[in-house]
């Protein structure tokens, strides 16, 4: 009887386990809803009105738990806010302002040059306030999650009551699009979570689309310029190709 090397047995068992786990994940996957995003495709741009509504949601809902450490208030110019609006938004929050004459930390109104105010002073405080779970920073969340904008949208609209035969862990919420379907974050949005000032009806789906548009912009504020530069480069290369071909035809026109 032929002996199989131990290393090969271990490798086979490991691969089998990986394949089984992969199959289990695939069987458990729920297909994400496909959403029409203004920023999709090579010519896509951000819907600034939607991004502004999304910032309102972040400001009133998400910022209670989630930080945006990569953004400064002055960056909001990129979604069409005026200098005066940005100053007012920054001044509406208190940010660390150094220490006083007694060495005690002080707070001051925010300025456009400040980072977005973090809801917690550190990760330990964030975990303590959220049952041990650390709310992720949302600066690049849209790029960091597989499925991108579609996944984040699905997560916002995917809360529901769990199936009758599913045992939920204490403090967990059911979400059909979250891996494992149990998530520590309570449902953040419902119909009417915010009041839009432009007359848009604040349904759950609309709110989810708006806040994801804002998060997509936050993750790639330079996307539109990058796409425009790409189009210019392609047009230049096409022109250069045409000129090169014309010169070649001219130089070789007398050669038979």
Q: For residue range 71-129, what is the model confidence (pLDDT) as tens digits?
A: 999 999 999 999 999 999 999 999 988 888 888 889 999 999 999 999 999 999 999 99
Instruction: Give the least confident one: 7-16, 61-70, 179-188, 245-254.
Output: 7-16
Superfamily of domain covering 25-71+115-231: Cytochrome c-like domain (1.10.760.10)
Lowest mean pLDDT among 22-26, 107-111, 141-145: 22-26
H-helix or E-strand spanning residue 233: helix 223-251
- At residue 149 the predicted structure's pLDDT band, cuts being 50, 70 and 90, is very high
- Residue 244 confidence class, pLDDT cut points 50, 70, 90: confident
**Rounded Cα distance, 130 and 65, in Å:** 8
Number of helical H runs and strand E runs in the chain: 8, 4
Which pLDDT score, from 0 to 100, does residue 1 have? 40
Q: Are 91 and 109 in contact (CB under 8 A)?
A: yes
Pick the more confident residue, 196 or 7.
Answer: 196
Phi first, then psi, for residue 37 (nearest 5°) are: -105, 135
Q: Is the pLDDT of residue 23 over 60?
A: no
Confidence class of residue 29 from pLDDT cuts 50, 70 and 90? low
Q: What mean pLDDT is predicted for residues 229-244?
A: 83
User: Over pLDDT 90: what percentage of the chain?
Assistant: 67
* DSSP string across 179-217: TTSEESSPP---TTSS--SSS----HHHHHHHHHHHHHH
Place of tokens 């297909």: 31
- The ranges assigned to domains in the chain are 25-71+115-231, 72-114
């Amino acid at each position: 009887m032929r002996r199989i090397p131990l290393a090969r047995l271990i490798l086979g068992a490991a691969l089998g386990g990986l394949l089984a786990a992969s199959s289990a994940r695939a069987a458990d996957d729920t297909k994400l809803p496909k959403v029409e995003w203004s920023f999709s495709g090579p010519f896509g741009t951000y819907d600034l009105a939607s991004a502004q509504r999304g910032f309102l949601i972040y400001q009133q809902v998400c910022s209670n738990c989630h930080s945006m450490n990569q953004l400064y208030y002055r960056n909001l110019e990129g979604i069409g806010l005026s200098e005066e609006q940005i100053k007012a938004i920054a001044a509406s929050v208190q940010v660390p302002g150094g220490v006083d004459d007694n060495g005690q930390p002080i707070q001051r109104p925010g300025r456009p040059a400040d980072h977005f105010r973090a809801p917690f002073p550190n990760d330990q405080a964030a975990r303590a306030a959220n049952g041990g779970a650390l709310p992720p920073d949302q600066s690049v969340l849209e790029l960091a999650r597989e499925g991108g904008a579609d996944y984040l949208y699905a997560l916002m609209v995917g809360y529901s009551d769990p199936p009758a035969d599913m045992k939920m862990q204490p403090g967990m919420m059911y979400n059909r699009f979250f891996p494992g379907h149990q998530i520590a974050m309570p449902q953040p949005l419902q119909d009417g979570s915010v009041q839009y000032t432009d007359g848009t009806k604040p349904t759950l789906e609309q709110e989810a689309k708006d806040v994801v548009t804002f998060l997509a912009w936050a993750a790639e504020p330079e996307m539109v310029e990058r796409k425009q530069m790409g189009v210019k480069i392609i047009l230049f290369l096409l022109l250069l190709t045409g000129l090169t071909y014309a010169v070649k035809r001219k130089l070789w026109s007398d050669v038979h």
